Amino acid sequence: MKNAIVIGATSGIGKELAVILSEHGYAVGIAGRRLNLLEELKNQLKTPVFIKQIDISIIPDAMRFLNELISEMGEIDLIIISAGTGSINPDLLWEYEKSTIDVNVRGFAAMANVAFNHFKKIGRGHLVGISSIAALFGNRSSPAYNASKAFVSNYLEGLTNKSVKEKLNIIVTDIKPGFVDTELARGDHLFWVAPAQKAAKQIYRVIEKKKSHAYITKRWTLAAWILKLLPRFIREML
């Protein structure tokens, strides 16, 4: 039986990925801030489940707890970092910017560090990070969120390059979802909003194919290319 850990499994994409992994025979470690939701999810899964309450914004504790979860489960085949936060913050209130940076930048990097070093130690593994289409442009209403997702994608690319350069048997996958029906999907004029279950199913297929990068759902691949080609004066109006 393969072992997988999903960080940020209390809701949304992370929760749905935990369900899919269990359905495909993985023993699953589920981690997140809300212990009651982790307990509820445990009752839905069909394979062995390990629970660890982790707030990734509290860095030393989060790293220690993830290492403890790995030790409890044994060698891990797959670690998915789906935990994240974000706020629409047109008034640029620092408390919201800081919260986003603490979770999406510092917390993400800490979890990726533990995961990558575990895989390096055992000689194999697959790290998946959930970034966003928002990584492709700055946003005046949520500058920290979009910038944090650019950090996630860039960090994952760095780990990919490290794995290749050092000839490590570590696969790193950057997932960039568009709008998904989760707690983070806020704002007016949202389009192409996918159910979390549909997004998770597509992500699982990407994981199975060991791809390094994917837009979710697939239609966002076209949107990504358009965003990259837009002149700056148009991007400034987004």
Residue 45's CATH number: 3.40.50.720
The answer to whether the beta carbons of residues 127 and 152 sit under 8 Å apart is no
pLDDT band at 104 (very low <50, low <70, confident <90, very high): very high
**pLDDT at position 220, please?**
80
**pLDDT at position 227, please?**
77
The active-site residue out of 145, 155, 204, 215 is 145
Range with the poorest average pLDDT among 121-130, 152-161, 189-198, 209-218: 189-198
Taking only the tens place, the pLDDT of each residue in 37-73 is: 999 999 999 999 999 999 999 999 999 999 999 999 9
Taking only the tens place, the pLDDT of each residue in 184-233 is: 555 555 656 788 999 999 999 999 999 999 999 888 887 777 777 767 76
Greater confidence, 238 or 94? 94
Could you tell me the pTM of the whole model? 0.92
Q: For residue 189, what are its two tokens?
A: 């004029």
Question: Alpha-carbon distance 32 to 68, whole Å?
Answer: 14
pLDDT band at 238 (very low <50, low <70, confident <90, very high): low
Phi-psi region of 30 (alpha: psi -120 to 50; beta: other; left: phi over 0): beta
- Which structural domain, as residue segments, surrounds residue 216? 3-235
Q: What's the total number of domains in the chain?
A: 1
Residue type, 74: G
- Closest CA relative to residue 203, chosen from 77, 10, 15, 47: 15
96 carries an active-site annotation: no
**pLDDT at position 182, please?**
65
The answer to whether the beta carbons of residues 187 and 88 sit under 8 Å apart is yes
Residue type, 5: I
Instruction: Over range 118-147, report the average pLDDT.
Output: 95
Contacts of 27 (CB under 8 A, 6+ apart): 1, 2, 3, 4, 47, 48, 49, 50, 73
Q: For residue 60, what are its two tokens?
A: 């030393």
